[in-house]
Amino acid sequence: MTRVRFEIEGMDCSDEAILLRKILGDLKGVSDVAPNVLDRSVAVEFREAEIEPAEMVRAIERTGMRATTRDPERAPAAVTPDESKSAKRRAILSIAGAGFLLLAFVMHAFVAGVRETLLGGEGASVPLVSRVLYVGAIVCGGWFVLPRAYAGIRSLRADMYVLMTVAVVGAVAIGEWLEAATVTVLFSTSLALEAWTVGRARNAIGALAVLAPQRARVLRDNQQDEFVTVESVAIGERVLVKTGEQIPLDGRIVSGESTVNEAPITGESIPVAKTPGDGVLAGTLNHEGVLEVEVEKLAGDSTLARVAKLVAEAQAKRSPSERWVEKFASVYTPVVLILALLLATVPPLVVGDFRKWLYEALSLLVIACPCALVISTPVSMVAALVAAAKRGVLVKGAEFLELLAGVKAMAFDKTGTLTVGKPQVGEVSPLAGHSQSEVLEIALAIERRSEHPLAQAIVGHAEELGVRASPVDDYVAVGGKGATAKRRGLPVWVGSAKFAREMTGDEPERDRLVADRSSKGGSVVLVGEKNHTCGFILLRDKLRPETASTIRELRESGVQRLVMLTGDNSATAKAIGAESGLDEVRAELLPADKVEQIEGMVTEFGSVVMVGDGVNDAPALARATVGIAMGVGGSASALETADVALMKDDLSKLPWLRLHAKRTLRVVRQNITAALIVKAVFVVLALTGHATLWAAIAADMGVSLAVVFNALRLLGPVRA
């Protein structure tokens, strides 16, 4: 299978996306078609042995649109200069058409009389000068419509352009010059405004890709910095980033210290301290100090570029609501066309007045245009996806957003998700007459030589308290148990409870205390001298500060079951679960066990969200209805595999995402309902002989703009 992406000139409405999906999907050898209105492109998967891209281009051009191949890896751009010129031409022609219409109306009223004009007199009563001006309005308004209508007629396809053209020609034929011109101008204006709103949404996506600077200050062989385009910078080269400048490419700091605003990636505006060895991302802002950064990724592979590309691609993944609307529209349009034909022929045979019922049939054709209905959902979804990306939440498709709005159960990994993922000292308990400082001194002296996470946590804690380590000799690491050494000539040791028993034998009081602490969760490290235990240190993986409030807010948002799935021991898991406020804890699970637990929850609740670190929990994330990966800024693998990626380690994004998803679904339902009600009202009016052409097009244009502007509200702040 081969994949190609075409740039589509003239695709401004989801009705056209549906048309492309049908036209290309019917071609032999094509297996998948993914049109993207906001990106004005269509991705096609096909078998090279059966079809060539040139044949697809010809099929697209038969619809009246034009296609050119595009690099499938290219990040989405904002509106191009050519598209901007096209939008200006649309606007100018719409304004010119409106001017002709107004002038024609005034002349008509002046010559023929206001009463006759408003009531729609016979064609012969319309003055010649007014007819000429009406024709001018029709030509200006139909400049972009007529070529598309011609393409539809040639293909025997009744799309919205054909419907409007037939309605206008029919109105002229029966002498309704005013209404024919009004329909054309209003339809042209509707298309121009809709293209503008689509362009605005597209600019919101393109803005993600251009947040990073287009030029970089590169240090060449002579260590002199020179400005070059970011595309010309190779991996391994070093770039200089001065105070107040944006970092141009993903890389790692070689020299310099600063604070960096990572809001474009993580949505977090609080600057993060950066020192040599720390990674930095393209598009983030260097607040203070001069940084020398070694480039690790090319411009097109930066995290920011991937996020922009994935957001754009996510729009092509249709949600259940979008699929329902598309299916409904495919039935609705031909049904209304048949009704229009019957309306134009049956009533005249019964009650006469052919002209009146032809007029009503033409009104029904106008309202048959499904664009307002079809665009109601995708524009809402893309606005929601862009808004989430700006908050540091990457949602890989509209369907996941819709699923998040209705999910009733969520599962969480423990380590690195509910907790910070790093053990910290929670308690130092001296025994046998020793003090806390003595216990820490011995532990520090030995553990400073170890790279074990528990050892590093103890060393960090002791140094924070100002404990000084005395030198040790004869250090020996005992694999899986602990370590021994000599301090001031005396043997000292640290290790597990099992190692302590080997070193000292049974100590009832010590064993009782250690068992008690272990039952409450955490790891116990014992510290001894010679043949007795001096004390023990309890280490725990600390709960994230926002965990408890996140769990509470998720429950308040309607999530019925909140469960921890972890491979850790039961005691530790239960302690963390109780502190978090979770409903249930399932511990000591292997990766395969987590998958089994997720499957059980799916069976019980219908859908389930799994939140994990994106690597160790990959099987469970993949099996869940929606998999959410934590803190994956800069991680290519997690970005590609997760359904939803939190660019920063911040669980508080989850309640926000839940509310955002519910708000999005509310907006989608409002848009669908509004479009259906307006169309239903006008169908009834037409069938009862009370519809008018200008009112039909005004209503269709009005509801189209209403649903688009309602959808664009999702780009603003979320409210509960």
Which residues sit opposite 626 in a β-bridge? Answer: 609
In 3D space, the residue among 482, 486, 485 whose CA is nearest the CA of residue 502 turns out to be 482
Q: Per-residue pLDDT averaged across 170-177, rounded?
A: 80
Fold of the 2-74 domain: Alpha-Beta Plaits (3.30.70)
In 3D space, the residue among 486, 492, 572, 571 whose CA is nearest the CA of residue 535 turns out to be 492
Fold of the 420-542 domain: Calcium-transporting ATPase, cytoplasmic domain N (3.40.1110)
What is the C-alpha to C-alpha distance for residues 364 and 337, in angstroms, rounded to an integer?
8
Phi-psi group of 2: left, alpha or beta (phi > 0 → left; psi -120 to 50 → alpha; rest → beta): beta
With H, G, I as helix, E, B as strand and everything else as coil, classify residue 83. helix
- Residues 6 or more apart from 136 whose CB is under 8 A from it? 96, 97, 100, 104
CATH of 386-411+545-660, one of 3.40.50.1220, 3.40.50.1000, 1.10.390.10, 3.40.50.300: 3.40.50.1000
> Which DSSP string corresponds to 430-470?
E-TT--HHHHHHHHHHHHTT---HHHHHHHHHHHHTTPPPP
φ, ψ of residue 587 in degrees (nearest 5): -110, 175
Neighbours of 81 (CB within 10 A): 7
DSSP code for 567: S
- Residues 6 or more apart from 29 whose CB is under 8 A from it? 46, 47, 49, 50, 51
Q: Are 540 and 511 in contact (CB under 8 A)?
A: no
User: In what side-by-side order are the strands of the sheet with 291-295?
Assistant: 225-229, 215-219, 238-241, 291-295, 251-255, 279-280
The angle, 0 to 180 degrees and rounded to 10, between the axes of the packed helices 497-504 and 508-519 is: 180
Q: What is the pLDDT of residue 38?
A: 65
Q: Could you identify the residue written with the tokens 């640290």?
A: 494
Lowest average pLDDT, out of 81-90, 95-104, 382-391, goes to 81-90
Q: What is the pLDDT of residue 81?
A: 53
pLDDT band of residue 53 (cuts 50, 70, 90) is: confident
Q: What is the pLDDT of residue 270?
A: 65
What is the C-alpha to C-alpha distance for residues 279 and 267, in angstroms, rounded to an integer?
17
What is the C-alpha to C-alpha distance for residues 218 and 541, in angstroms, rounded to an integer?
42
pLDDT band of residue 122 (cuts 50, 70, 90) is: very low
Kindly tell me if the per-residue pLDDT of 222 is higher than 70.
no
Q: What is the pLDDT of residue 589?
A: 83
With H, G, I as helix, E, B as strand and everything else as coil, classify residue 581. coil
What is the C-alpha to C-alpha distance for residues 627 and 643, in angstroms, rounded to an integer?
5
- Distance in angstroms between the alpha carbons of the first and the last residue of the chain: 45
Largest CA distance in the chain: 120
Neighbours of 235 (CB within 10 A): 13
In 3D space, the residue among 565, 583, 561 whose CA is nearest the CA of residue 413 turns out to be 565
Residue 405 tokens read as 């709005």
pTM above 0.85, yes or no: no
With H, G, I as helix, E, B as strand and everything else as coil, classify residue 471. coil
CB-side exposure of 594: number of CA atoms within 13 Å?
Answer: 30
| pLDDT digits 0-9 by tens, 577-634 | 998 999 999 988 877 788 899 999 999 999 999 998 755 677 788 888 898 988 765 5
Across 246-378, where does the E strand assignment appear?
251-255, 258-261, 272-274, 279-280, 285-286, 291-295
Q: How big is the chain by its Cα radius of gyration, in Å?
A: 34
Instruction: Give, in order, the Cα–Cα distances in Å from 22 to each of 10, 32, 501.
Output: 17, 11, 74
What percentage of residues in the chain have a pLDDT greater than 90? 17
What is the C-alpha to C-alpha distance for residues 193 and 206, in angstroms, rounded to an integer?
20
Instruction: Give, in order, the Cα–Cα distances in Å from 151 to each of 13, 168, 331, 367.
Output: 16, 17, 22, 21
Kindly tell me if the per-residue pLDDT of 121 is higher than 60.
no
| pLDDT digits 0-9 by tens, 56-80 | 988 888 877 888 887 655 555 544 5
What is the C-alpha to C-alpha distance for residues 160 and 696, in angstroms, rounded to an integer?
14
pLDDT: which is higher, 595 or 397:
595
Q: Domain boundaries in the chain? A: 2-74, 79-210, 215-301, 386-411+545-660, 420-542
pLDDT: which is higher, 81 or 628:
628
Q: Are 141 and 160 in contact (CB under 8 A)?
A: no
pLDDT: which is higher, 346 or 268:
346
Which residues sit opposite 566 in a β-bridge? Answer: none
In 3D space, the residue among 178, 83, 80, 108 whose CA is nearest the CA of residue 138 turns out to be 178
The amino acid sitting at 433 is G
DSSP code for 648: S
What is the C-alpha to C-alpha distance for residues 255 and 258, in angstroms, rounded to an integer?
10
Instruction: Give, in order, the Cα–Cα distances in Å from 257 to each of 262, 297, 539.
Output: 15, 21, 32
CB-side exposure of 99: number of CA atoms within 13 Å?
Answer: 7
DSSP code for 597: H
CATH of 215-301, one of 2.70.150.10, 1.10.3720.10, 3.30.300.130, 1.20.1280.290: 2.70.150.10
Q: Are 383 and 712 in contact (CB under 8 A)?
A: yes
Kindly tell me if the per-residue pLDDT of 198 is higher than 70.
no
pLDDT: which is higher, 311 or 690:
690
Instruction: Give, in order, the Cα–Cα distances in Å from 171 to each of 123, 142, 166, 540, 610.
Output: 10, 14, 8, 79, 58
What is the C-alpha to C-alpha distance for residues 220 and 238, in angstroms, rounded to an integer?
8
> What are the catalytic residues?
413
Q: C-alpha angle 269/255/213, rounded to 5°?
A: 50
Residue 126 tokens read as 């319309």
Q: Per-residue pLDDT averaged across 10-31, rounded?
A: 79
Residue 91 tokens read as 């606007």
Residue burial 410-438, b: 16+ Cβ < 10 Å; e: rest? bbbbbbbbbbbbebebbebbbbeebeeeb
Dihedral angle sign, alpha carbons of residues 571, 576, 581, 584: negative
What percentage of residues in the chain have a pLDDT greater than 70? 83
With H, G, I as helix, E, B as strand and everything else as coil, classify residue 690. coil
What is the C-alpha to C-alpha distance for residues 143 and 49, in angstroms, rounded to an integer?
40
Would you mind telling me the total number of residues written for the chain in this entry?
720
Q: Are 358 and 173 in contact (CB under 8 A)?
A: no
With H, G, I as helix, E, B as strand and everything else as coil, classify residue 259. strand
pLDDT band of residue 124 (cuts 50, 70, 90) is: very low
Q: What is the pLDDT of residue 720?
A: 43
- Pick from 401-415, 471-485, 666-680 the range whose average pLDDT is largest: 401-415
Q: C-alpha angle 566/571/576, rounded to 5°?
A: 60
Cα-based torsion angle of the residue sequence 621, 582, 545, 607 in order, rounded to the nearest 10 degrees: 30
Q: What is the pLDDT of residue 446?
A: 92
pLDDT: which is higher, 678 or 439:
439
- The chain-wide mean pLDDT, for the chain, equals 81
Dihedral angle sign, alpha carbons of residues 374, 379, 380, 381: positive
Kindly tell me if the per-residue pLDDT of 402 is higher than 80.
yes
Beta strand 41-46 pairing with 393-395: unpaired
Q: Per-residue pLDDT averaged across 166-174, rounded?
A: 81
pLDDT: which is higher, 677 or 198:
677
Q: Are 686 and 367 in contact (CB under 8 A)?
A: yes
Q: Could you identify the residue written with the tokens 């939008």?
A: 87
CB-side exposure of 288: number of CA atoms within 13 Å?
Answer: 5
